[in-house]
């Protein structure tokens, strides 16, 4: 099995929203904002080569949204998912599985593309798309707080295509995705977000999605205002970070603009950053 990180571009979000109750005087040292209080974030994905399967975890915002939408989030950078795939010798047609940690637009927007005639179609036509039933229902019947993050044009075409499947778990182990040793369900950020764990080169890799957006979010109170249940996030994050520290996991960071992965360690102040690293260097 080979695992690669893929960059799909950068975007900006309000720093206060990203760090919640943490004062700006503190968080601005972690991710300096611009004049509008906006900080730059990555949209990093993971690609797994395993035999005849090519599995993509999340896929960024995509390219089908109009300029008004894109202007809200200041999309920038030269990277796109298709460019990153081509660097590895693949195209979107080669993807066999798309695993979606959750259905917020910056994680699943690349699932669907707009064709020249304006119609929507799957960006990965030969892939099975994986979600889970509880989160899918949460996304297609969104609450007012998250409605702006669950865009129907990103979600409904997947179901209409017939390519959608829901992950089946036995004690956290997925039955149809042997690439994952375990999938942790997390309810703090959104209902039933999935955090997959993989065995790779003698290490455990955890793609932590929005449970831990960046190295700057490692301290427990550093929780996004976007989370629907912030106290639950703190509990879930503490459990994952303690396991990660005890077992020397590599945490793959979806939104950190600089560091693609890190390890953590237990200190007298709690779990803290140990080192940053690249998956290619494992």
Report helix, strand and coil shares of the chain as percent, to nearest 5.
Answer: 30, 30, 40
Average pLDDT of 150-160? 96
pLDDT of residue 171: 86
What are phi and psi for residue 253, nearest 5 degrees?
A: -105, 120
How much of the chain, in percent, has pLDDT values that exceed 70?
100
Length of the chain, in residues: 282
CA 164/CA 105 separation, integer angstroms:
17
The CATH number assigned to the domain holding 138 equals: 3.60.15.10
CB 124 within 8 A of CB 111: yes
Whether the model pTM is above 0.85? yes
Counts for the chain of helices (H) and strands (E), in that order: 8, 16
| Arithmetic mean of pLDDT over the chain | 96
Average pLDDT of 93-116? 96
Q: What would the pLDDT profile of 54-91 be if each residue is shown by its tens digit? A: 999 999 999 998 888 888 999 999 999 999 999 999 99
Kindly give, in sequence order, each residue whose CB lies less than 8 Å from that of residue 169, ignoring residues fewer than 6 positions away. 175, 183, 185
Output the DSSP codes for 151-201: -HHHHHHHHHHT-EEEPPEETTEESS-TT-SEEEEE-SSSTTEEEEEEEET
Total number of domains in the chain:
1
pLDDT of residue 100: 98
Q: How far is CA 28 from the centre of its chain?
A: 23
Where is 15: in which H helix or E strand? helix 15-19
Residue 182: give the domain boundaries.
2-281
Q: What would the pLDDT profile of 8-63 be if each residue is shown by its tens digit? A: 999 999 999 999 999 999 999 999 999 999 999 999 999 999 999 999 999 999 99
Going by C-alpha positions, the residue among 59, 155, 151, 49 that lies closest to residue 99 is 59
Instruction: Name the pLDDT band for 217 (thresholds 50, 70, 90).
Output: very high
């Amino acid at each position: 099995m080979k695992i690669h990180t893929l960059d799909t571009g950068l975007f900006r979000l309000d720093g206060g929203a990203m760090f919640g109750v943490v004062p700006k005087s503190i968080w601005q040292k972690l991710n300096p904002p611009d004049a509008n209080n906006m900080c730059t974030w990555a949209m990093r994905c993971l690609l797994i080569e395993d035999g005849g399967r090519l599995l993509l975890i999340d896929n960024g915002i995509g390219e089908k949204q109009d300029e008004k939408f894109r202007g809200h989030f200041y999309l920038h950078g030269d990277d796109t998912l298709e460019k990153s795939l081509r660097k590895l010798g693949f195209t979107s047609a080669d993807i066999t599985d798309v695993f979606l940690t959750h259905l917020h637009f910056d994680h699943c927007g690349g699932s669907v593309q707009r064709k020249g005639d304006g119609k929507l179609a799957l960006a990965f036509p030969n892939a099975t798309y994986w979600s889970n039933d509880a989160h899918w229902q949460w996304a297609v019947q969104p609450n007012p707080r998250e409605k702006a993050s669950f865009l129907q044009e990103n979600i409904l075409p997947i179901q209409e295509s017939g390519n959608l499947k829901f992950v089946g778990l036995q004690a956290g182990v997925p039955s149809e995705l042997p690439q994952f040793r375990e999938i942790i369900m997390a309810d703090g950020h959104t209902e039933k977000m999935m955090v997959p764990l993989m065995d790779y080169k003698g290490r455990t890799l955890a793609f932590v999605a929005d449970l831990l957006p960046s190295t700057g979010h490692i301290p427990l109170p550093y929780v996004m205002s976007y989370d629907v249940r912030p106290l639950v996030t703190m509990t879930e994050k503490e459990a994952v970070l303690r396991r990660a520290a005890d077992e020397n996991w590599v945490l793959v960071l979806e939104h950190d603009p600089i560091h693609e992965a890190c390890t953590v360690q237990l200190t007298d102040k709690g779990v803290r950053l140990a080192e940053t690293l690249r998956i290619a260097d494992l």
